[in-house]
Structure 1
Amino acid sequence: MSKRFFCGAAGVLLLANLAMAQNGKIIRGQITDSQTGKPLLGANIFVMPNGSGAISDTQGRFRFKASGSAADSLRISFMGYRPCTLALAEIQDELNIKLEATTLLFAETVVTATRQSSLRAGVPSATELVEINSPQNLARQNLGEALSQSQSVFVKEYGGVNGLKTINVRGAGEGQVLVLTDGVRLNNPQSGSVDASLFSLVGIDKIEILRGNASAQYGSEAIGGVIHLRSLQPAAGFSSAIQTSGGSFGAFNSRVQLGYGSAKWRGAVALDRLVSDGDFPIGDAGKIKRQNNSSQRREIFARLSGNLRDDLSVQLLHRRNRLEQGVPGSLHFLSDDAQQKDSNHLTSAALEWNLSPLLQFAAQFSAERRDQRYDDPDPFFPIASRHHVASDFGSLQNRAKLHQTFDLLIGGEIGHYRLTSTDLGKPERTQRSAFLQAEWQPFLGTRPGRWQIKVMPSLRYDDYPDAGHRASPKLALGLNRQSTTRLHVHGSFGKSFRVPSMNDLFWPAGPFVAGNPSLLPERGREVEGGVLYEFSAAGNWQLELAGFNSKIEDLIVWISDANFRYSPVNLENAKISGVELSAAWRSNGDRLGWRANYTRLSAKNEASGKNLVYRPAEKFDLLANLNLRCFTLGGSFQFTGKRFINADNSRSLPGYRVTNFALSRKILFGEFNTLLHVEMRNVFDRHFSIIDGYPLPGREWRATLRLGI
């Protein structure tokens, strides 16, 4: 009888193995951090020894058909966490896996490069993540200051906190860098660029920087890259924070932030106010102070997101800021009485509807209104300019998961931009766009330690009635290997473009300035590649090397004619190439850490061989912090090489070095979390200008007190 029982049991086991091998078993679940409860993106789920597998998504979830036998096991692993192994035959219900962290690694998540959440170490592009809530960014007073020490980012500052700040990335000018906030374009259609001094950091959780051309995904202005501001997501329950700071040159900043999160809804409201006299000393002697340089900025931020249904979510965003400031002009042409007022209102609504793996809809609609008033009562050349820009934008896309290894994103955008100006009249512009992006990972879910391949082709078509149409293709490739270390290799080739701004096209002909309605769009193409390596050895390391080579044709340049009247023309072709080096280290426990970035850049006029103006050949940044029991010490150092200031390179500004130090202390009073932060900027009181004629402050103090619940 025992023999018949043994044979029967063996037969049942054999049938189970055959059934599982032929039909497969659906394995699904979620993977989270055992301490924080946060979902883990990119964890490996693998049937051992030779079965199928999957990788967890942005919510830490996974689902696949297991092709192994009943005797196989399921292994879940993620770099920096202790792996988990389960018997495949014992799995009946949905899994809830909690992995225990063993080391603190660089598990940064970005959205911009692929239009969905992905590990930064796995996207086929050069990216960087700036955490706004980190101690080194606590006293930053605007977007320009937060970006100034990022890899290959050069912020052109026109005079301290109050001055205009524009952003260059990899040698691409301010009109060639796209700025987004939660997917909404912030570039002004009138100028084509963004003034980073207008935006405080209130309501911003982190900033994603995508270096390299991205027109195949985002269209015009993305020749040099994309700067993406991601809004704050409040934690569960009620939270609040009050922050106030004061500093040199009459600077005072106050901020209030409230947040609430429940199982379905999360919302945040924040207010920010900054005033500054801006009367810093000019020159080494310090006897003369900058005049007419005061400013006052107010900003309101509100965000609400939640689930209307299990498969339908909504996000509402409103941001409003107002800046009133004196405009002192350059030291060569002072304006003692000029005043400027800027007012921006942005409202957006976004919906996500996930019906099935094939139907994952996303729609977004935004309306932005910009007003600018500039008055200069100069008795010889009085100016009174008024500009109102209305931008309405909508997008619709669908992401279809055609196979476990293949995603297809298809969508369209439409925008309408209207300008009412005392200088330009009432020009209008319409944008119609369609885009297609695929992600193919042929070996997704294979055994950890083997190479994973990601192929990402993209194609976008943009049509502007006043500037023509353009197709922008791009092919990106990523190779990723992860076990006890992580190695990521990426490369891409693509085309990009930028349409002329409304100022370029429509500025009325006058005695000094005239627009050019015959301008062609700028056209670019770039090849770039890089390698990122993460490992643990006496702490946690991240090493990165990237190189790029690009060419921009029909570069728009404003030049003067024989009568000294300036007008834009498609004059130059530019060749830009460079190398980026980055190294970061964090001790186990995150007590000590540092990051160093170095960029070597060559940006030249192809015809003359001369350097493009205001493109430094070198830039080096070092940031470090030390967390003690009661204090946090921080410091930074920046070196920027010389910049040529005219086309024939006969004049230049020397390189400069800036050193900053900061000290923070946390104090806990029950539920209250108090942080005192003191910072000294430009410790050695260096006097320099980034832009000719616009000096920057010397040594500067800032003290900040933050009270949170």
Structure 2
Amino acid sequence: MKLIFPLRTSRSFLILLSIVIYLILFCDYSNSQTALKIFGQVIDSNGPVSEVVVNVENTVFLATTGRDGYYYIYDIPAGEYRLSCWFDNVTASTADKITVGSGPPVRRDIFLENNIVNTAPVYSDAVSPAAIDHQGFNVKTYNIGSKHVESIESLLKDIPGINVVSSPAAGEVYISTSGIRPDGVNILIDGRKINSLLTGRADLNQIPIKAVAKIEYFSPGVTNTANSGGLGGTINFVTVNAVQSNSYAVSVQKGSYGEEGYNTDIEYQKTGFGRIKAIWEKNFLKNNYQYTDYYGDTQTRENAVAKNNKYYFSYSNSIADYYLNLSGYIYNGENGVPGPIIGLPVDASSQKETISVGGDFSRHFSKAVDVKVSLSTLKRDTRYKDFNSFIQYDTKYLESESRIALHSNYNVVKRLNISSQLSYTTSVLEGIDNIRPAQALGKIGRNDFRLYGSAGYNHHISVFSIQAGSSHSLNRVDNKNFSASNFSASFVYTQSITAGLTASFARSFRLPGLAELHWQEDVFVMPNPDLKPETSNSISTEIFSAFNLAGKWRLSLEYRDIRYNDLIYWRRSQGIKYKPVNVSASDFYSAAASVSYKIPGEIIEIDFSRVNSTAINKEKNQPYYRKYITFQPLYINTLSIKINYRNIHVGADMLDSSQRYFTEENTKQLDPYTLVNAGAGVCCKLKSVIANFDFKVKNLTNIEYELLEYQPMPPRSYHFCLTLKLS
């Protein structure tokens, strides 16, 4: 198989190679790698404290604590510093200074009591910012920190059981998990849902990758302030509070099959002005790789060009007694239409434009009470066209969704936290057919009033910690009521080792899509206004432990049981016409094990996970009763090895997936595959400029595999990235 490698003789490659040689020969490599320097947890008598600004005095370095109370500060030069905290409209400094050197990061825990800052002892064994934080209510946080990420897949690889469903012909990326389709997984950016009103799915390609600071993963069905819980889980990409220092960065990425990528990143903060972050990403990919077709012949992929522009911004500041947070992004993409290589319309194309903006004003009235008002809006235009196929089409869909929410949090009773939220969301979907106007979808909408409440209890007894909580939501949509709820509890022992047990129950729903209720674009498809919501009942439990033994270990074992009912499938109704109906149910069982190990000094990190799952169709009186759900793997193994030594980093990761059936009768399947990626990079510093050069090989073993039937994924490919950062 001939490998297309466009950089071999190009001018861009020669320029890039010259820069790398210069950096290797003349740059100062000492202390040049982006590194964690100071971290810790802010707590009070009620437990971890979020939204506390921890500042390194007389510098531009600061960080804001997350829900777990942790803060992380990177790249601060060696020296002595004093920390200060802004909380409850009060600024207070620590009594003593801390010393930052070239060795391990310094841990400084901070205890808040009666507006007095007390510091806990300093620890030299830092917790990696990539560690998983359990935050109650079955939420896990995966901190990105300073990790180099170049794709959505690399962002999500730390979450066990994620099944990436990619359509390379259209430059689209979807994910499924827990035995449910992609439209059953809620995708959020800064707490704002981005799932399409047309398809119910969320294209992860529109996410500004460089802006993501951490990922929050809510277990299936878990209700939270943003939504009533995705049937297969909720993933929130958090970008705000990501600014660590004043800097300007630019990067260039080149790769096989016509890949080009450009990125500009600006971070600025100043007392009184606030913090601002702006990012621009531009990507282009020809995807003209070769593959073996259905008849065994070698072909070149057609109609697979994908290109997009992404613009991101965020701004945060404290104004008087208020805290302001704004963020948003613009996505503009054009690519081929998703479809198999058999019968692929080579002139079909799609265009997407998305604008999402949101913000919140919050005020802490006292240590016990805070209130927040949130506003957000999303607009998306999607156009599909093909003027040369047997059935020509030119359709456009306009999506609009706006939301306002009032959130309050109470800590009136010691160890008890109570939250509530009242929100209103309005959604509008309009379909326009430029060739057959009479068959256009028209303009349809939905209004959603939602009341949410949660209560959490946290109690520490010597070396034991007990947490329990519940959350409930009531949605009123088009004069009908729908509810969701979940309960969780955890028991944690902390001494020479940390060990814990968590358990939860969740009940959730997914409303039918607007297109499913009102569709009329296709003469072969009928709408169904009588569709009921899809529902789920899930039970999960996890045992985890963390300890030091010739390094740092973290072990976990999780079991999950989910029962789905009234699942919506398209079934033949009248002759050759299809309509969506609530005819299906399925059961999902999974067991997940994960192991993480870091040698002293964290020079080498090893992460392994295995997820065994079974998703069974329970639609009775059908030939596919008790058959496996389509496109759901029976197991997924992941292995990641990273080596970081001074200015050099080397890594490799493996994804091993079982076969997946793509017919409901399980008569046809996609073969199992093992995908291996490897990469290396070097970081160096020349005065105030930090340069990073990364090289990566994807699909190292050059296997042929598919994620969707008759849609081959790329063979081995090479990728280069050069990043220059001025700080």
TM-score by length of 2: 0.82
Greater shift after overlay, 405-414 or 150-159? 150-159
Given that 1:216 and 1:473 are in contact with CA atoms closer than 8 Å, whether structure 2 keeps it comes out as no
**1:6-25 correspondence to structure 2 within 5 Å:** none
* One of 408, 414, 436 as aligned partner of 2:424: 414
Find the aligned partners of 2:38 and 2:135 in 1 and give their Cα distance.
22
Q: Deviations over 1:192-219 (max 9, x none)?
A: 1201123340322222222321236543
- The aligned residue for residue 437 of structure 1 is 454
Structure 1 window deviating more from structure 2 (124-133 vs 498-507): it is: 124-133
- Cα 1:223–1:242 change in 2 (3 A) is same
One-letter amino acid of the counterpart of residue 703, structure 1: F
> Are the equivalent residues in 1 in contact too, given 2:249–2:265 (CA < 8 A)?
yes
Is contact 1:144-1:167 (8 Å) kept?
A: no
Contact 1:688 1:696 (C-alpha < 8 Å) held by counterparts: yes
Q: Does 1:686 align with 2:697?
A: no
Q: Is the 8 A contact 1:216 1:494 kept in 2?
A: no
Which residue in the other structure is 1:268 paired with?
A: 277
- Which amino acid counterpart does residue 250 of structure 1 have in structure 2? G
Aligned residue type for 1:342: K
**Match in the other structure for 1:650:** 667
SS at match of 2:209: coil
Correspondence 1:120 to 2:128: no
Q: 1:696 to 1:584 in 2, by over 3 A?
A: same
Report the counterpart of residue 26 of structure 2 in structure 1.
none
Q: Is the 8 A contact 2:206 2:310 kept in 1?
A: no
C-alpha change, 1:300 and 1:83, in structure 2 (3 Å) is: closer
Q: Counterpart in 2 of 1:211?
A: 219
Q: Is the 8 A contact 2:110 2:118 kept in 1?
A: no
Confirm or deny: 8 A CA contact 1:438 1:457 kept in the other structure: yes
Q: Over alpha carbons, which structure has the higher Rg?
A: 1
Distance in 1 (alpha carbons) for counterparts of 2:285 and 2:146: 23
Cα shift readout 1:389-436 (whole Å, capped 9, x = no counterpart): 111111111001021210110111110011121232100111110011
Post-superposition Cα deviations, 1:59-112, rounded to whole Å, max 9, x if no partner, equal 36899xxxxxxxxxxxxxxxx9899999xxxx9993441632231335668xxx
1:557 aligns with 2:598: no
Structure 2 residue 161 is matched with structure 1 residue 152: yes
| 2:181 paired residue number | 173
Residue 234 of structure 1: how far off its partner (Å): 4.9
- The structure 1 residue matched to 2:578, chosen from 563, 566, 580, is 566
* Alignment partner, residue 15 of structure 1: none
What are the within-5 Å matches in structure 2 for residues 75-90 of structure 1? Answer: none
Deviation string, structure 1 residues 333-366 (Cα, Å, up to 9, x no partner): 2111001110000111211111123431011101
* Structure 2 runs not aligned, ≥5 long: 1-35, 53-68, 70-84, 88-104, 433-439
Q: Determine the structure 2 residue equivalent to 1:628.
A: 645
**Whole-Å Cα distance in 2 between the matches of residues 235 and 460 of structure 1?**
33
Structure 1 residue 508, shift from structure 2 partner: 1.2
Match of 2:328 among 306, 314, 318: 318
Q: Are the structure 2 counterparts of residues 632 and 563 from structure 1 closer, same or farther at C-alpha, using a change threshold of 3 Å?
A: same
Q: Which amino acid aligns with 2:123?
A: A
Cα RMSD (Å): 2.6
Structure 2 letter corresponding to 1:272: E
Relative distance call for 1:297 and 1:244 in structure 2 (3 A) is: same
CA 1:124–1:387 in structure 2 vs 1: closer, same or farther (change >3 Å)? closer
Given that residues 208 and 312 in structure 2 are in contact (C-alpha distance below 8 angstroms), is that contact kept between their aligned partners in structure 1? no
Once the two structures are superposed, residues 539-575 of structure 1 have per-residue CA deviations (whole angstroms, 9 ceiling, x without a partner) of 1111111101010110001122462222111011111
Change in Cα spacing, 1:328 to 1:397, as seen in structure 2 (3 Å) is closer
Please list the CA deviations of residues 449-470 of structure 1 after superposition, one character each: whole Å capped at 9, or x if unmatched: 2x2111101111012118x321
Task: Work out whether residues 223 and 524 of structure 1, in 8 Å CA contact, stay in contact via their aligned partners in 2.
Answer: yes
> Residues 396 and 682 from structure 1, CA distance in 2 versus in 1: closer, same or farther, beyond 3 angstroms?
same
More displaced stretch, 556-565 vs 531-540: 556-565
User: Contact 2:223–2:471 (CA<8 Å) still a contact in 1?
Assistant: no
Deviation at 1:286, TM superposition (A): 8.0
Alignment of 1:279-428 (within 5 A): 279-283=288-292, 287-309=298-320, 311-327=321-337, 329-422=339-432, 423-428=440-445
The 3-state SS of whatever aligns with 2:700 is coil
1:484 CA drift (Å): 2.6
Aligned-partner residue type, residue 693 of structure 2:
L
Q: Which residue of 2 aligns with 1:70?
A: none
Cα deviation for residue 122 of structure 1 reads 4.8
The aligned amino acid for 1:575 is D
Give distance in 1, aligned partners of 2:659 and 2:707.
9
Distance in 2 between the 1:307 and 1:597 partners? 42
Distance 1:247 1:405, change over 3 A: same
Q: Which amino acid aligns with 2:417?
A: D
Which amino acid in 1 is paired with 2:350?
Q
Question: Residue in 2 aligned with 1:186?
Answer: 194
In 2, distance between residues paired with 1:84 and 1:371?
47
Unaligned runs of 5+ in 1: 1-34, 46-52, 64-79, 110-118
Deviation at 1:498, TM superposition (A): 0.2
Q: Which amino acid aligns with 1:332?
A: I
Alignment match, 1:463: 476
Amino acid at match of 2:337: V
Deviation of 1:276 (Å): 1.1
Distance 2:505 2:106 in 1: 35
In 2, Cα distance between equivalents of 1:243 and 1:596: 31
The match for 1:17 is none
**Amino acid aligned to 1:154:** N
- Structure 1: which amino acid aligns with 2:283? L
Aligned length: 626
Q: CA–CA distance in 2 between the matches of 1:484 and 1:524?
A: 39
| 1:55 to 2:63 alignment | no
What CA deviation, in whole Å up to 9, does each residue of 1:570-597 have, x standing for no partner?
0111111110111111122111001111
Displacement of 1:296:
1.4
Aligned-pair CA distance for 1:54: 5.5
Match of 1:699 in 2: 716
Mapped partners of 2:240, 2:478: distance in 1: 37
Counterpart for residue 101 of structure 1: 123
Matches within 5 A, 1:543-692: 543-561=555-573, 563-606=575-618, 607=620, 608-692=625-709
How far residue 673 of structure 1 moved from its aligned partner, in angstroms, is 0.8
TM-score when normalising by structure 1: 0.84
Q: Residues 164 and 236 (structure 1 numbering): CA distance in 2 closer, same or farther, change over 3 Å?
A: closer
1:125-148 superposed Cα distances (whole Å, 9 cap, x missing partner):
26251517413x2x32xx355325
Give the distance between the partners of 1:157 and 1:684, measured in 2 at CA.
20
> 1:251: how far off?
0.5
Partner of 1:337: helix, strand, or coil?
A: coil
Could you say which residue in structure 1 is the equivalent of 2:286? 277
**Kept after mapping to 1: 8 A contact 2:596/2:605:** yes
User: Matched residues in 2 for 1:323 and 1:84: separation?
Assistant: 45
Corresponding residue for residue 465 of structure 2? 452
